Amino acid sequence: MNKFFNILLLVALVTNNVFANNNKKISSEQIDNIFTPKVKQFINNINKAYPFLSVKNTSGLTRHVVNNNIINEALNLTASANYQWKCTEPLAEYLDNDNQIAYYTMTCSGEWPQAHDNLYNKLNIKNLLVHAVVANRNSSQQWETTPLITADINNQNQCISPVNCRSRLFDYVQNYNRSHSRKIIAVINGGYFFMHKGFVDSNCIWKTALSYFYNFDKPLPTSFIGDGLTIINAQTFSFNCPALGSVRISPDRATWVVDNKGNGKIVDMPAGNTIDTSNIQQALGAGPMLIQNGEYAMEWQLIPSTFGYSANTGLALAEDESGQEKIVFFTVDGIDGKNGMYSFEMANFMKEYLGKALGFEIRSAMSMDHGGSTSMVTCSQVSGSCRLVSHSGEDDSGRAVYNGLAIIQ
């Protein structure tokens, strides 16, 4: 019964636009009923790190301001801090015969900015194993970037539930490369998804009831498994999930999109199944957004995972001094709550260190699913072998995931 009343309270708060971009304020008790502990911790500590962002009432007591703009501004301020990254010399390996796709790995350490000690407990950022695949984008390229779904959705026995409708990236790559003439060169894990039947994903509250909001006449095969927009060769498999069950209050989600002309970009895409996909060939939605137009552009987009400290995965578009465009797959190994990077640390590392170390500028970037889902597989055309080079410390084989983003040649 208490759960039922909590749901009613959530409905009431959402109906009153608690998450709208305005200056409405709510109490700590109301925060308890809406946010996961990680999000609540971040909001409660914003005032300590950034006093100028908080609002005080007439009695002089600080009130919690649940405002997307304020949360995003705090994220961007944190992302722009000086983490004093220091890394070993990047070890490079070309994955293709034309030396257009390279895999880099390095071990890195940083310093938690003193000004942010109050935002989180001070952390020792040491011995982070970082991975990046960098591919040159040009008119003569022989490869393409495409989303993939790791399960055979036409096999009803395999895809009968979220438990079965996913597989480990390494296993998927091995099977794919054995049966296709074009081979996967590199792949990272993709968007958020249901792990178990009936499990409510914290990044998509009320997932089990979304059929009432979507009003699907015929639900897509994976529409209630994948939480992000997934389009492969103009065929749609899932949509960006309304964060709280209502499209009206859901912010856009960061999404990798390739249009009918082959132009790939990282953009915000709306939630729900009413979006126009007629000009989209490929898409993979996740989030949060990290960088746009070469500047920090963090938006938490009602994704509690934004505040998770663990292994992490990102996608970026970059450009070098000659104007050569590049696509970057990024991962950092870690364990939930013990080691890895926050999303804002990943944004900082990509913009301030990775690009400079490898000779390019990050122009846009987004986060994928992270934590136990973080995985990167690389395959060498020279040796003909594939390796799981990055994964969470939770599983040496990598977690089974719903989808991924691959470079195929």
Q: Among the listed ranges 16-20, 147-151, 176-180, 383-387, which one has the minimum average pLDDT value?
A: 16-20
> Model confidence over 372-398: pLDDT tens digits?
899 999 999 988 899 999 988 777 788
Would you give the distance in Å from CA 4 to the centre of its chain?
31
Backbone angles phi, psi at 4, to 5 degrees: -65, -45
Share of the chain above pLDDT 70, in %: 68
The band of 301, judged by pLDDT with boundaries at 50, 70 and 90, is confident
Same domain assignment for residues 241 and 209: yes
Give the integer Cα–Cα distance in Å for 164 and 47: 44
Instruction: Indicate whether 103 pLDDT > 90.
Output: yes
Give the integer Cα–Cα distance in Å for 211 and 326: 39
Q: pTM to 2 decimals?
A: 0.85
Structural domain contains residue 78: no
Structural domain contains residue 209: yes
Structural domain contains residue 227: yes
Structural domain contains residue 43: yes
Output the pLDDT for position 78: 87
Same domain assignment for residues 107 and 37: no
Same domain assignment for residues 55 and 22: yes
Structural domain contains residue 79: no
Same domain assignment for residues 333 and 263: yes
Nearest residue to 408 via CA among 375, 384, 379 = 379
333: Cβ contacts below 8 Å, ≥ 6 apart: 128, 129, 131, 311, 339, 340, 374, 390, 391, 392, 393
Output the pLDDT for position 394: 75
Structural domain contains residue 403: yes
Instruction: Indicate whether 18 pLDDT > 50.
Output: no
Would you give the distance in Å from CA 64 to the centre of its chain?
27
Output the pLDDT for position 272: 79
Same domain assignment for residues 34 and 159: no
Output the pLDDT for position 202: 65
> Model confidence over 310-348: pLDDT tens digits?
999 999 999 999 999 999 999 999 998 888 999 999 999
Give the integer Cα–Cα distance in Å for 251 and 270: 7
Same domain assignment for residues 130 and 214: yes
Same domain assignment for residues 191 and 55: no
User: Which of 66, 101, 118 finishes a domain?
Assistant: 66
Same domain assignment for residues 169 and 200: yes
> Model confidence over 61-90: pLDDT tens digits?
344 445 677 788 888 988 998 999 999 999
Count the Cβ atoms, other than its own, within 10 Å of residue 204: 25
Same domain assignment for residues 149 and 258: yes
The band of 307, judged by pLDDT with boundaries at 50, 70 and 90, is confident
Pair of tokens at residue 348: 């900082």
Output the pLDDT for position 227: 84
Q: Among the listed ranges 209-218, 270-279, 398-407, which one has the minimum average pLDDT value?
A: 209-218
Pair of tokens at residue 277: 């996909």
Same domain assignment for residues 93 and 226: yes
Structural domain contains residue 80: no
CB 90 within 8 A of CB 104: yes
CB 337 within 8 A of CB 310: yes
Same domain assignment for residues 219 and 253: yes
Q: How many domains does the chain have?
A: 2
Average pLDDT of span 212-226? 58
Q: Is 226 left (phi over 0), alpha (psi -120 to 50) or beta?
A: beta
Output the pLDDT for position 14: 36
Q: Which domain holds residue 35?
A: 2-66
Mean residue pLDDT across the chain: 79
Same domain assignment for residues 153 and 281: yes
Average pLDDT of span 343-360? 96
